[in-house]
Amino acid sequence: MSESTTGATAASGALRGAIGETLLEVRDLQKHFPLTQGVLFKRTVGHVRAVDGVNLTMHRGETVGLVGESGCGKSTVSKLLVALEKPTAGSILYKGRDVAKMGGRALKEYRREVQIIFQDPYASLNPRMTVGDIVAEGWSVHADVAPKKGRLQRTQELLDRVGLNPDYVNRYPHQFSGGQRQRIGIARALALRPEIIVCDEPVSALDVSVQAQVVNLLEDLQDEFGLSYLFIAHDLSVVRHISDRVAVMYLGSIVEEGTDEQVYTAPSHPYTQALLSSVPLHEPHLRGQKDRILLQGDVPSPADPPSGCRFRTRCWKAQDICAQEAPALVDRGQGHPSACHFAEARTVVPVDVE
Ligand SMILES: Nc1ncnc2c1ncn2[C@@H]1O[C@H](COP(=O)(O)OP(=O)(O)OP(=O)(O)O)[C@@H](O)[C@H]1O
Ligand code: SF4
Ligand SMILES: [Mg+2]
């Protein structure tokens, strides 16, 4: 694909800014959905605290993995980041500017620069549109990204870049496999020359054999275009391969954060330790060395979270203080931040496992 037609030059990290520069800062982000009762006269009887105090930083060119069980608020974070939802409180700073205070033009530019790919490639593509129209759709709003003349060629180049036959431009989504549809979603995001792509469980719905191919494609595109990813998954093994840093989420907030190495070799929050212990190991000779931690009980309702530490109802280390004081996400000497009063590094999987 030539640079002039794909925008590779403009999209490269080198020209846009330095790799490692802070792009996005999320501060105490909250999203509470009202719980209503009644048919004719709706009244609010409570709130679902889907996201309840998330702090995250993303640098140019890096991948941050966001991991947690179903319902912990991962998709709500991603919708807040791409401005599909408005925060209840907290802020998202993009290149130092508060997204909530951005006016029309700046917000439009933000929406172009921060793209999303969804978990379900079947539901996220309009079945009545051709693949070409899907990939080119964003150009109707962001016309300056692709001059009208040459859009077909550009669409075909994008399809080619994500590993699809450019001649399939007039086909419909149902004529593609799950992995191929996810590639269409990636091409659609790429078409707008984003800085950041929020990947909301992009491989969870795919066969294991196809998952690695899609992850490899995302990694290649990151190198080529200097992209940053927020890569969401419910399983630590999926994000390990791709993430530079990992944030573990439980019931609306981040409970542990660190480099890939820190979180995998020295997890210090009991929830991270339990999640890691459920990661499947592919090396049969190492399986016996894994520390097995079985989590008791279900995730409490985000409409009525436990007082103090939210994990305390399932934690084997819980003490009185855990019900009274919410632990801050700070480094208590273990080398990286952990939201546990009694944070302590523990080896859960053998350290030489890749
Ligand atoms: N629009 C909404 N109105 C009310 N509650 C919502 C809404 N969207 C999400 N929720 C609730 O917020 C919580 C977090 O949902 P979210 O989809 O962000 O979780 P998730 O971590 O992405 O889960 P999964 O792994 O299943 O995708 C859930 O309890 C969900 O039911
Ligand atoms: S603060 Fe208490 S309940 Fe929470 S994870 Fe740590 S030990 Fe467990
Ligand atoms: Mg989700």
Q: How far apart are CA 233 and CA 204, in angstroms?
A: 7
Same domain? 293 vs 191:
no
**pLDDT value at residue 280:** 75
Q: Of 210, 243, 276, which marks where a domain is finished?
A: 243
User: 234 in ligand 1 pocket by Cβ < 6 Å?
Assistant: yes
Residue 294 in any domain: the answer is yes
Cα–Cα distance for residue pair 166/163, rounded to 1 Å: 9
Give 162's pLDDT tier (boundaries 50, 70, 90).
very high
CA–centroid distance, 139 to ligand 2, in Å, is 49
Same domain for 225 and 289, yes or no, is no
In a domain, 251, yes or no: no
The CA distance from 13 to 11, in Å, is 6
Q: How confident is the model at residue 93 (pLDDT cuts 50, 70, 90)?
A: very high
Average pLDDT over residues 118-137: 91
CB 232 less than 6 A from any atom of ligand 1: no
Tens of pLDDT along 221-275?
999 999 999 999 988 888 888 999 999 999 999 999 999 999 999 999 999 999 9
pLDDT of 350 over the 90 cut:
no
Q: Is the pLDDT of residue 278 over 50?
A: yes
User: Which residues does 45 contact at the CB level (< 8 Å), separation at least 6?
Assistant: 35, 36, 37
Give the pLDDT of residue 14.
43
Claim to verify: residue 238 and residue 281 sit in the same structural domain? no
Residues 223 and 316 in one domain: no
More confident residue, 179 or 352: 179
Q: Which domain holds residue 316?
A: 261-354
pLDDT for the residue numbered 240: 84
Measured in angstroms, how far is the CA atom of residue 311 from the centroid of ligand 2?
A: 6
Question: For residue 184, what are the contacts with CB-CB under 8 A and spacing of at least 6?
Answer: 121, 125, 131, 134, 135, 159, 162, 164, 173, 176
Q: Identify whether residues 176 and 275 lie together within a single domain.
A: no
Rg (CA), the chain: 21
**This prediction's pTM:** 0.91
200 and 332 in one domain?
no
Q: Ligand 1 atom 5: the closest Cα is on which residue?
A: 33
Q: Say yes or no to pLDDT of 2 above 90.
A: no
What does the block give as tokens for 303?
């409409």
Which residue is closest in CA terms to ligand 1's atom 30?
71
* Last-in-domain residue among 184, 212, 243: 243
**pLDDT of amino acid 351:** 65
Among 28-32, 212-216, 350-354, the range scoring the smallest mean pLDDT is 350-354
Q: Residues lining ligand 2, judged by CB closer than 6 Å?
A: 269-270, 309, 311-312, 315, 317-318, 322, 327, 340-342
* 2 vs 174, higher pLDDT: 174
Supply the residue whose CA is at minimum distance from atom 3 of ligand 2: 312
Q: What is the pLDDT of residue 281?
A: 73
Per the CB < 8 A criterion, the answer to whether 66 and 74 are in contact is yes
The share of the chain scoring above pLDDT 90, in percent, equals: 72
- Per-residue confidence band for 42, with pLDDT thresholds at 50, 70 and 90: confident
Please write the tens of the pLDDT for every residue from 184-203.
999 999 999 999 999 999 99
CA of 324 to the centre of ligand 2 (A): 11
Residue 267 CA, ligand 2 centroid: distance in Å: 14
Q: How far is the CA of 96 from the centre of ligand 2 (A)?
A: 34
Q: Which numbered atom of ligand 2 lies nearest the CA of 309?
A: 4
Question: Is 274 domain-assigned?
Answer: yes
Task: Please report whether residue 248 resides in a domain.
Answer: no
Q: How many domains does the chain have?
A: 2
**Confidence class of residue 353 from pLDDT cuts 50, 70 and 90?**
very low
249 assigned to some structural domain: no
Of the chain, the percentage scoring pLDDT greater than 70 comes to: 93
Query: Of 196, 211, 243, which closes a domain?
Result: 243
Q: Specify whether 196 is located in the same domain as 339.
A: no
Kindly state if the Cβ of 73 falls inside 6 Å of ligand 1.
yes
Q: Are residues 284 and 225 in the same domain?
A: no
Question: What is the per-residue pLDDT for 287?
Answer: 67
CA of 271 to the centre of ligand 2 (A): 9
CATH of the domain at 86: 3.40.50.300
Are residues 66 and 211 part of one domain?
yes
Ligand 1 pocket, 76 CB below 6 A? yes
Query: How close is the Cα of 90 to the center of ligand 2, in Å?
Result: 25
Average pLDDT across the chain, whole number: 90
Residue 42 lies in a domain: no
Q: Do 305 and 229 have their domain in common? A: no
What is the model's pLDDT at position 165?
96
Residues 270, 182 share a domain: no
Give residue 1's pLDDT band: very low, low, confident or very high (50, 70, 90).
very low
29 and 143 housed in the same domain:
yes
Q: b or e along 323-345 (b: 16 or more beta carbons within 10 Å of the residue's beta carbon)?
A: eeebbebeebebebbbbbbbbbb
- Going by alpha carbons, the residue nearest to atom 22 of ligand 1 is 75
Q: Is the pLDDT confidence value at 21 over 70?
A: yes
Q: Give the model confidence (pLDDT) of 45-79 as tens digits.
A: 899 999 999 999 999 999 999 999 999 999 999 99
Per DSSP, the residues of 8-73 read HHHHSHHHHS-TT-EEEEEEEEEEEEEEEE-SSS-EEEEEEEEEEEEEEEEETT-EEEEE--TTSS
Q: 281-337, pLDDT tens digit by residue?
A: 777 776 677 778 888 888 899 999 999 999 999 999 999 999 999 999 999 999 999
Q: Is the CB of 71 under 6 A from ligand 1?
A: yes
Q: Is residue 41 part of a domain?
A: no
Query: Does 107 map to a domain?
Result: yes
